[in-house]
Structure 1
Amino acid sequence: MSALLHTTREGERWDAIAWHYYRDVREMARLIAANPHAPRSGRLPSGLTLAIPLIGRPLAVSTAGLPPWKR
């Protein structure tokens, strides 16, 4: 699994980190699962290194047959 590394700042929360990297707070579970060494709730301490798993994005849909205003 490929991952980015994130070093926490004092008071960061899982939901804020999920939003920052994925723009989806529901991805908190993915972050928590990838970082069993980190506290699971509350605010995170500063200096903690977290793995941020890279997730695939949907493939782009071809716009070749669409009118110009929908491309």
Structure 2
Amino acid sequence: MPPYRFRRIPESRLRPIGGNRNSPRVWLLFLFSRRSAITAAWLMLCEFPATESIPFVPSYKTFP
């Protein structure tokens, strides 16, 4: 990934004026700014649990 994605966010943007009222908006902006990474992780989680190469993922044989 490009290194600019991991740029440190200033503390004033993490703690806006008004306390924790705006925290859901901050988290939504944080999630939507990394939508591609979340999509890739979601696709990996949807694609690979059926394979037996990952032992810690419960398969349908273990839980019928």
TM-score, structure 2 length as denominator?
A: 0.22
More strand by share: 1
More helix by share: 2
Q: Which has the higher contact order (CA 8 A, sep 6+)?
A: 1
Q: Which has the larger radius of gyration?
A: 2
TM-score, structure 1 length as denominator?
A: 0.21
